Amino acid sequence: MIYEPAEDSLLLKKHIKHYALGKNLVLDMGTGSGLLAVEAAGYVHKVIAVDINPEAIKHCRKTIKKSNIEFRQSDLFSNIQKDEIFDLIIFNPPYLPLDKDEPEDSQLATTGGRKGYELIQKFLSDAKAYLAEKGEILLLFSSLTGINDVNRIIFKNGFTYNEVARQHLFFEDIIVYILK
């Protein structure tokens, strides 16, 4: 299953231009349909867009013909080279707590772990090594992920954050942070 762009994708998309404009290399982590990679590609030299889901990468390669986007299958940074250093990383991660009734293939796009924040934790523990000195991370998550937990993980990994946007949906707020 490829994640169908939703409110979270659109909220993040709105803020890409401001943080991407004029940058050299951008990483779109968990690219899904490629929507955010295409948006970023309009403002930067090159975008590397990765997803753990091979079906998403196949779909993006087939449907998106932009010469400055490279699509790759990767589990977080597993297929990123050590000398690929990004000015901006964009991530709309799976951020919901596990719901055992949800089918496994859609869990891959929605579920961040048992509590919801585990994938963000893994991502942030590796991300610094791939960021330029003044590099930034545009990260989306939900009040259901646990705002205090996300804040704790951010500080623990040596980042600071500013809140860029917040939108109330039926059962949750979705939140965009910029991390430095």
- Nearest-5° Cα angle at 177, 171 to 178: 165
Q: Of 36, 127, 144, 176, which lies in the binding site for ligand SAM, with binding defined by CB under 6 A?
A: 36
Q: Of 19, 23, 31, 153, which lies in the binding site for ligand SAM, with binding defined by CB under 6 A?
A: 31
| Binding letters toward ligand SAM, positions 54-93, x by CB under 6 A | --x-----------------xxx---------------xx
Q: What is the C-alpha separation between 76 and 71, in angstroms, rounded?
A: 13
61 SS3 class: helix
Q: Which two tokens stand for residue 165?
A: 């946007």
Cα–Cα nearest to 158, from 131, 135, 136, 180: 180
The nearest distance, CB 95 to ligand SAM, in angstroms, is: 7
Does 145 bind ligand SAM (CB under 6 A)? Our answer is no
Q: Would you say 126 or 160 has its CB closer to ligand SAM? A: 126
- Full DSSP string of 92-129: ----EEP-TTS-HHHHHHHEEESSS-HHHHHHHHHHGG
Does 30 bind ligand SAM (CB under 6 A)? Our answer is yes
The nearest distance, CB 152 to ligand SAM, in angstroms, is: 21
Interacting residues toward ligand SAM by CB under 6 A: 3, 5, 9, 29-33, 35-36, 50-53, 56, 74-76, 92-94, 108-109, 119
